[in-house]
A = this chain, B = another copy of it.
Amino acid sequence: MNSKILGGIVPPLVTPLLSRDHLDVEGLENLIEHTLSGGVHGLFLLGTTGEGPSLSHRLRREVIELACRQVAGRVPIVVAVTDTSLPELLELAHFSAEQGAAGVVLAPPYYFGAGQAELIEFVEDVLAELHVPLVLYNMPALTKIKFDIATVRRLAQYDNIVGIKDSSGDMNYFHNLLRAARPGWSVMMGSETLMAEAVLFGADGGVCGGANVAPSLFVELFEAARNLNIEQVHTLQSRVIELGERLYSVGSYDSSGIKGIKGALACLNIGNGNTAEPFHSFGERERAQLRKALLDLQLLPITSALPAPLPLNGNNGNSR
């Protein structure tokens, strides 16, 4: 991990919310301490799991400022600044640099479907104005276009691009990415159930949503994979898959990943589970399922096994 910008387990932090445009400051502080105490190697702000695109620009700046101050250099922080508007994203990037972020993360603009030539020049336009290192973010399911391998090779020529996070879930693409990367690049896996095999084949680590909830589980799995300890990988990988099966399948929406993580964190007394529109927060029945799942997965301290039900906050955003 030496001089690379990112390596190991870098949770894409969720953004705890008191209400629609009101950051849960205590929740975010608790989340940062929870993940750092689990041994994570960096933090990733305002990505997909962080619901960055759903938040106001003002609130995004508040998250960046608070997280940088709270972490105070203990681990590197990168900030997803992706936006459909270049001026808006540059403003966020400049702010991130001022606050001490180690780098900013850029997915393709996600309204217009740019071609690869336009995508390359878009990244070049961003680079020309940037004062911090840039990490690419491949997320085709949500941005519609991906970074083709040829595009990655071309962009890898710029010194100020220092890595890529791939959330395509396509291991063949990922193997090609590992071959296209420049020495010194951070190549990070964005699909948590593929992190172990990615590391076995040379990835630097993973941006794993589940590490919000169970940071040490992912750190241990990363270490096992890096040490080529396959038996231990098998054991821990099963736990990671079970975690997803139990936490991300509650409720019927596509958004169940983010809602499951936020709901599980609420069971751990980190935040209140509120999500930003267009997602809905879980109701009490679903939280009970999550609490049961956390108990079964031994992720909930016995003492909190039977907490008083969380009061439904009168002004808590979009929960219904």
Q: Which A residues are within 8 Å of any B CB, using their own CB?
A: 20-21, 48, 51, 53-57, 59, 84-88, 108-115, 117-119, 121-122, 125, 141-142, 144, 169-172, 175-176, 179, 191, 193-194, 197, 200-202, 228, 230-231, 234, 237, 241, 252-255, 276-280, 318, 320
A141 to B145, CA, bound (A): 12
- Other 6 A-B pairs with CB < 8 A, given A53-B111, A53-B112, A175-B193: A113-B142, A115-B255, A121-B277, A175-B241, A197-B200, A228-B231
A86 touches B237 (CB 8 A): no
Given that A201-B237, A254-B114, A255-B118 are known contacts, is A87 also in contact with B56, CB under 8 Å in the complex? Answer: yes
Closest to A280 in B: B118
A117 to B278, CA, bound (A): 10
A228 to B234, CA, bound (A): 12
Q: Which of A112, A125, A176 has the most CB of B within 10 A?
A: A112
A158 to B254, CA, bound (A): 26
Q: Which of A59, A108, A280, A320 has the most CB of B within 10 A?
A: A280
Partner of A112, one of B118, B201, B279, B318: B279
Min distance, Cβ A89 to any Cβ of chain B, angstroms: 10
Chain B residue contacts of A53, Cβ below 8 A: 84-85, 109, 111-112
5 contacts between A and B (CB under 8 A): A110-B110, A114-B279, A121-B280, A175-B237, A201-B234
B112 touches A278 (CB 8 A): yes
A110 touches B112 (CB 8 A): no
A184 to B203, CA, bound (A): 33
